């Protein structure tokens, strides 16, 4: 079983809508989580990090963490075509020695 699971998508949303990306993890000891955005053929770039239960907002992005349910999500408000990319969820292992990535969700924002 993969340690970090994401729906591969593609998730299609119209321009201006809210895109909701979800991620579950199996390592109960994981404390830190990250969302990365990756355009085709490019390296991943960090969007958000979250360490505590609850919501964390940064501009159009909101990350949500629920440790009891082992669930992380990313909301993108007012989605733009430039948001079309693969979104990678990642969590730090319980022993803190590595970052484990999900396979990524493809997001397509249609204008």
Partner 1 sequence: EAQVTQNPRYLITVTGKKLTVTCSQNMNHEYMSWYRQDPGLGLRQIYYSMNVEVTDKGDVPEGYKVSRKEKRNFPLILESPSPNQTSLYFCASSWDSGNTIYFGEGSWLTVV
Enumerate binding residues for partner 1 (CB under 8 A). Answer: 8, 31-32, 34, 41-46, 49, 88, 90, 92-93, 96-104
Which one, 76 or 90, has the nearer CB to partner 1?
90
Query: From the CB of 46, what's the least distance to partner 1, in Å?
Result: 5
Name 27's Cβ contacts closer than 8 Å, sequence gap at least 6. 3, 91, 93, 94, 100
Name 65's Cβ contacts closer than 8 Å, sequence gap at least 6. 33, 50, 51, 52, 53, 54, 56, 71, 72
Which one, 72 or 88, has the nearer CB to partner 1?
88
Query: From the CB of 42, what's the least distance to partner 1, in Å?
Result: 7
Which one, 54 or 96, has the nearer CB to partner 1?
96
Angle at 81 between CA 86 and CA 15, to 5 degrees: 115
Query: From the CB of 66, what's the least distance to partner 1, in Å?
Result: 19
Name 58's Cβ contacts closer than 8 Å, sequence gap at least 6. 47, 48
Which one, 15 or 45, has the nearer CB to partner 1?
45
């Amino acid at each position: 079983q993969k340690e970090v699971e994401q729906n591969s998508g593609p998730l299609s949303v119209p321009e201006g809508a809210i895109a909701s990306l979800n991620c579950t993890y199996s390592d109960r000891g994981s404390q830190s989580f990250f969302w990365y955005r990756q355009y085709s053929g490019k390296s991943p770039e960090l969007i958000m990090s979250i360490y505590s239960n609850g919501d964390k907002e940064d501009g159009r992005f909101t990350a949500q963490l629920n440790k009891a349910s082992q669930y992380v999500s990313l909301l993108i408000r007012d989605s733009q075509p430039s948001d079309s990319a693969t979104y990678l969820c990642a969590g730090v292992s319980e022993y803190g020695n590595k970052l484990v990535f999900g396979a990524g969700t493809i997001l397509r924002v249609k204008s």
